[in-house]
Each structure stands twice: as C-alpha cells, then as structure tokens.
Amino acid sequence: MSLKLDLQLKVEVTDEEQKAMEWIKKCLRAAAESEELPPVEVAVTIVDNPAIQQINKEYREMDRPTDVLSFPLWEPDEEWVLSEEEDAVPLGDIVISFPKAKEQAKEYGHSLERELGFLAVHGFLHLLGYDHETMEEEKEMFHRQEEILGRIGLQR
C-alpha cells in the first residue's frame, strides 16, 4: 500500500507544526495500509481556529471552530477511477485545527501526537465513507480508529 500526501503548509511553520505533519503522515500511512487501499492521495491542511471556523461556517453552516473537517471526492458507494495522469486515487481533503488539537490533547490528558493522529485518522475514514450518524456506525468507525492508532503505538 502506498499513500501519496499533498501536505499544504504555511510558508513559516514552527518546529511543533513540522513534527505534527510528520505524525499525521505516519498515521495516514497506517490508515491506508490498514484499509488495504491502492495508492491514494490526500491533501492535508493545518489551520488555526479562525480559519477552520470560516470553513465550517461556509461548508457546514456551523459558525464555530471545530477540530477536523473532511471533504471527500467520492461518494461512499462510488467506484474509484484513475485518469491516465493519476498514479494515486485522490480521496479528498482533510483540514485540522492545530490549536484545537492542542486544546483537546490537554483536555483529554493525552499527547498532542495522539490527538493529531486521532483527528487525521478520523478525517481519513470520513474520506472513505465511514460515518458516525448512528450508534452502529459510530461504534464501527471508532473501533477502526483505535485499531489503526494502536498499530503505531497511539493507544489511549
């Protein structure tokens, strides 16, 4: 399995943000391998709370910051088709609020790496069609998240 990541970073990133992107890459590779996917491409963008609030308002009509947003390119039952120019299936975009991840890591009493991993894998699974609208869907999605994070040592 391979995972092609299109990581969109600000021109100036802190060491902490650079380390965050490395963790996110590791987590998304583990997720792609765990799901036994062909080569895939994901765009990941790290933003601040005002930026994710604006995106959340624009696309979900919720005027508040959130931790992660996913924008899949495929419907859950749609077959993936590669164009001749593509060497990986483009799955979509994941947007993560770095300040929100830091806040939640502190609130939940675990590492920033764990929180970033959780958010990245959560967003990735949404790109694949997983959801948590019902209790059954939530149980399945959260089980997959924990399974994937456990593979790379980010258990609760």
Amino acid in position 52: I
3-class secondary-structure state, position 5: strand
pLDDT at 25 over 80: yes
How far apart (Å, rounded) are the C-alpha atoms in residues 17 and 82?
32
> Domain-by-domain residue ranges, the chain?
3-151
pLDDT digits (tens, 9 = 90+) for 113-143: 999 999 999 999 999 999 998 999 999 999 9
Residue positions forming the annotated binding site for Zn(2+): 122, 126, 132
* Structure confidence at residue 24 (pLDDT): 92
Residue positions forming the annotated binding site: 122, 126, 132
The overall average pLDDT reported for the chain is 88
Q: Supply the CATH classification number for the domain 3-151.
A: 3.40.390.30
> Higher model confidence: residue 136 or residue 84?
136
pLDDT at 11 over 80: no
b or e along 86-107 (b: 16 or more beta carbons within 10 Å of the residue's beta carbon)? eebbbbbbbbbbbebbeebbee
pLDDT at 77 over 90: no
